[in-house]
A and B are shown apart, each in its own frame.
Chain A
């Protein structure tokens, strides 16, 4: 039986090459794996090896020939030495250009997200307590849930979020790690790929940059790359954004960084109810969820539902204050800034509707668009940098879906486009204040 040796492609982009040299002659025996020829590409000279064994009965392309197209037969091997005519080469399977079945710009979010509802009785609760309670409730309910991070156990959490958890759940489920973000994040992702449900606490999200490869390349992409075989039920949580006077390396908002990534969900709670409801949902979610908390909010007290089943849907925004003149969209600590601005505006006769996004990916475009259709004006507020930020995304979606309803261009309020400075006056100049929001609104109303 005869086999053709074809001109091989030696790189993803090669279409032709020079047959530089034959190392075998007609009549030679060839073993599988033996080098038979040298091929010159635009990048290098490469050896090609025989895949099949047999006797070289014909050389079809003499050495020195340039511009030999990939897949051209260059020689014939014969198992028993018979002369063989060259048969036509089967053309490689045609690669038709991919026609998208859908024009959707982002991958669809998980279906069947329960609606928010009235949860009845409330009690004053700090965001810190709400986060702790969310973890404790989920850890009681599911033995596969555990918490790891720096100082989460014996120290009770650098910001005391995990207070009491070590005592209740023991050192196997509340694990102090060394200062080794890349290593412990990768370990947690591996545990999640094997079916456990880790909660990774970053002392602050600034340190998650040490581990970002594992969050994006491993946690977010494995489900897709495995054709749906291997999910990653994991939560990455911790304080995000500026705290107070800790300067550039410890004061950064990761909202748009993580919200950029398909395969992740990203939530950013403001109130205690947000914190408790969204963290519980994140822990139960079969996907990797980034929970962006805020240090300034940890000690703030809000009314929070006491119902033991309380949970919030990921992907639903909340209208914190109704209004008719302008829509202010904010998330995390900036919801408080927006509400303060709304009070000042109300005193001036401007009724602002304040939308708390709660979830950044998926983004509740419907709620934002419905609000803008009512108010015809949009102001976004975020602590992070403006470039490719959440405000830019929200504004673009409103332009795409409610352009005709807008009576003025959307305005973004955001942190100054600089590394955060230390000096008290400069820091204040860099972070959005209520009067910035008031000014933005009065520009367009």
Chain B
């Protein structure tokens, strides 16, 4: 079955960053990726409700433009690492919806053969390094991915995603220092969705402009509207180009919003309903992209075709995730050690 378009093609990083030119086909591809992520997450939420998915399940609905825009700025071989709100990142990296959904249902057909679950998924083939359940841990690990590029002398960069909640972890600041000190090619992306679980950023961080959190170490930075995929892409291109040119790390803060609770059992009573409604109705990234595409003359039939295609992918993924068998009992003992 077809999957998310792997938007990572080398050599597309030269765009004019400050005035994003609207490329119709690129925007259509982004629209499709965002829609794929949203429909995937809605389906995951439904399967969770049916108890086919267990444990923790953190949905990315609302934030789709961030990963979609970022991924448009990187190329083959660049690494990606993120936290546990990771389904969207995997789809944007070109991992198959089937394998991701089957991991959520804990089946043999999942990316980790059912042994990782929602928060722990990886694809060596797509250079996706997780999927990490410990808040902030992926930031130090991302430095290591960037370090390996530095060590090997290639021009690859690592996109290291984390939330504004993780941005208060000590190892994030250790990583800022190390990355700046060693000029590691890391793009740090703070996905600021305003709430670390139920605590608003204002209640958690004395820093009011998170994009400046790397400033003591001289880390170049920018703030971007994370609900606008082209704005994210433009900012990402600047960041990635700087990293690739050997200028060291770059910090991007994407202002975004998650529509759902932190995890599945979160009623999100810590924020006013009007705030959510405003973001949904006035700032939705998919609606925004669609509006831009309509102005570019994209017709209803094209949207319908994308909708249908995405719907089919998601239905196929859901069917596969339920039909795939549970892992064999012998899998309990495999992959503990290489060679054992």
Interface residues of A (CB under 8 A from B): 6-12, 14, 32-33, 41, 43-49, 51, 70-71, 92-93, 95, 98-102, 104, 107-112, 146, 172, 177-178, 180, 182-196, 213-214, 217-218, 222-231, 233, 262-263, 265, 286-287
Q: Is B115 an interface residue (CB 8 A)?
A: yes
Assuming the contacts A102-B333, A224-B336, A230-B129, asked whether A9 and B145 have C-beta atoms less than 8 A apart, the reply is no
Interchain CA distance A228-B177 in the complex, whole Å: 32
Q: Which residue of the partner chain, among B79, B140, B148, contacts A186 with CB atoms under 8 Å?
A: B140
CA gap between A45 and B115 in the complex, in Å: 32
Contact call A182/B55, Cβ cutoff below 8 A: no
A92-B50, A224-B115, A225-B115 known; A182 and B170 CB under 8 Å?
yes
A41, B322: Cα distance in complex, Å: 26
> Does B233 interact with chain A (Cβ within 8 Å)?
no
Q: Is the CB of A92 within 8 A of B151?
A: no
CB distance B267 to A196 under 8 Å? no
Contact B144 A230 (CB under 8 A): no
B134 within 8 A of A: yes
Interface size class of B (residues with CB under 8 A): 35 or more
Q: Are A189 and B267 in contact (CB under 8 A)?
A: no
A362 CB, nearest partner CB in chain B, Å = 8
From B1-9, B40-48, B205-213, B288-296, the one touching the partner chain is B40-48
Of B48, B175, B326, B333, which contacts A108 at CB under 8 A? B333
Given contacts A8-B49, A230-B129, 20 further A-B contacts (CB under 8 A): A46-B265, A49-B45, A71-B50, A95-B326, A98-B332, A101-B333, A107-B336, A108-B333, A108-B337, A183-B175, A186-B143, A190-B129, A190-B141, A192-B144, A194-B79, A218-B132, A224-B336, A227-B122, A229-B112, A287-B339
Contact of A230 (CB < 8 Å), options: B115, B124, B340: B124
Please report the C-alpha to C-alpha distance between residue A177 and residue B79 in the assembled complex, in whole angstroms: 23
Q: Are A224 and B335 in contact (CB under 8 A)?
A: yes
- Return the CB mask of B318-338 against A: 1 if under 8 Å, else 0: 000010001011101111111
Q: Is the CB of A225 within 8 A of B112?
A: yes
**Central interface residue in B81, B141, B147, by most chain A CB within 10 Å:** B141
Which A residues touch B339, using CB under 8 A? Answer: 110-112, 286-287
Partner of A226, one of B112, B259, B337: B112
A-B pairs, top 9 by smallest CB distance, nearest first, are A190-B144, A186-B140, A8-B49, A183-B174, A11-B265, A107-B336, A190-B141, A227-B113, A227-B112
A-B contact pairs, 16 of them (CB 8 A): A6-B50, A11-B264, A49-B45, A51-B43, A101-B328, A102-B333, A107-B337, A187-B144, A188-B144, A189-B144, A222-B122, A224-B115, A227-B113, A228-B334, A230-B124, A286-B339
Say whether, besides A93-B52, A146-B151, A108 and B124 are in contact (CB < 8 Å): no
Interface centre among B114, B123, B132, B338 (most CB of A within 10 A): B338
Closest chain-A Cβ to B38's Cβ sits at a distance in Å of: 8
Report A-chain residues with C-beta under 8 Å of the C-beta of B332: 98, 100-102
Closest Cβ of chain B: how far from A69's Cβ, in Å?
Answer: 11
Any A CB within 8 A of the CB of B181: yes
Given A12-B265, A227-B111 in contact, is the A218-B141 Cβ separation under 8 Å? yes
Contact mask B234-267 → A, CB, 8 Å, 1/0? 0000000000000000000000000101001111
